[in-house]
Amino acid sequence: MPEQRGCEARWPVVVTILAVVLLLAWLPGPIRLLPLWATYVIGGAVLAPIAAVGISAARASWLRAERASTLFFCVAMAVASVANLSNVIFAMAHKPGGITGLQLLASSVAVWVNNVMTFALLYWQLDRGGPEARVRHARVPKDWLFPQESAPAGDVPAAWHPAFVDYLYLAYSTATAFSTTDVMPLTARAKLLMMLESTIALVTIVVVASRAINIFGS
């Protein structure tokens, strides 16, 4: 979907949502929370209004539908990530013979990646009123301050605004460093969301590391 006047390009978002859906569908049955059909239905429900935004040149009604469906998708996927992670830990502790070590490791990595992409989508939709409000430079309070906004004049374009890749980097950094890097949270909800993402990532990495030690030590 090409970027139109007043409409941020949606193709990175579409790719991310498809990746989240496919990773969830790829999880082994004992780990996966949602049935396959539910995963595909949720993915289709969130992709439909995003496609409509591109086709309708960002009509207000479709923007509202996109925002609502994306936020619902992020909440559902965050809950699914926590539940899937709980299933991984339970399988390690109580069903060591029901799932292979490779499946556990792969499931943990999938949960970690989904965590990053889900929170990237959430940050992208929440900050400053959403993507179209940022394109229009609407006067909406910022949740995050990006380094480009404090850079000397001339180093970045005058009309610069954060796009999806900036929020993907923010989510990736939060999940790997467990703290802020060059993007600073400004609001309480931004700090709480980053704490939640860091916690999920930390527990997932601990699960992966402990399982890897068990596999190589046996």
- Amino acid 12: pLDDT: 92
Tokens linked to 98: 């029901």
127 neighbors 167 (Cβ within 8 angstroms) = yes
pLDDT value at residue 6: 52
C-alpha distances out from residue 8 to 3, 63, 132, 141, Å: 5, 11, 7, 19
Distances (CA, A) of 164 to 124, 127, 167, 178: 6, 11, 5, 20
Residues of the chain scoring pLDDT < 50: 1-5
Domain edges within the chain = 11-217
pLDDT value for 57: 67
Which pLDDT does position 70 carry in this prediction?
93
Based on its alpha-carbon atoms, the radius of gyration of the chain, rounded to whole angstroms, reads: 19
Residue 212's pLDDT is 62
Closest CA relative to residue 176, chosen from 133, 112, 125: 112
